[in-house]
Amino acid sequence: MGGESYGSDITRIRQLNEIGIALSSERNHDALLENLLTSARELTQADAGTLYTFDASKQQLSLQSYKTIHWTYALGDLANR
């Protein structure tokens, strides 16, 4: 029981290190935010995510990046809803 948790923790720490290295080498601000959101979603196994930045001088949040679940339906499926 404890060994599984330990192995999982080690895996997550390795993932975080890899993410940190990748993010620290990114120079493009937009790509950095996109990669940050993608990495956070993968790490937390989330289906979707949203990233906001906070502008302290304006006291407002600004949407920077988002990933949503994309649904695909066949035309016949839409008629049955």
What are 6-26's pLDDT values in tens digits? 888 898 899 899 989 988 998
Per-residue model confidence (pLDDT) at position 74: 65
Q: What residue type is assigned to position 15 of the chain?
A: Q
Domain residue spans of the chain: 2-79
Residue 71 — left, alpha, or beta (φ > 0 → left; ψ -120 to 50 → alpha)? beta
pLDDT digits over 46-77, tens only? 989 999 999 999 999 999 988 887 766 666 65
> Helices 29-44 and 2-25 sit at what angle, rounded to 10 degrees?
170
Contact present, 32 and 21 (Cβ < 8 Å): no
Q: Cα–Cα distance between 11 and 9 in angstroms, integer? A: 5
Q: Cα–Cα distance between 43 and 62 in angstroms, integer? A: 23
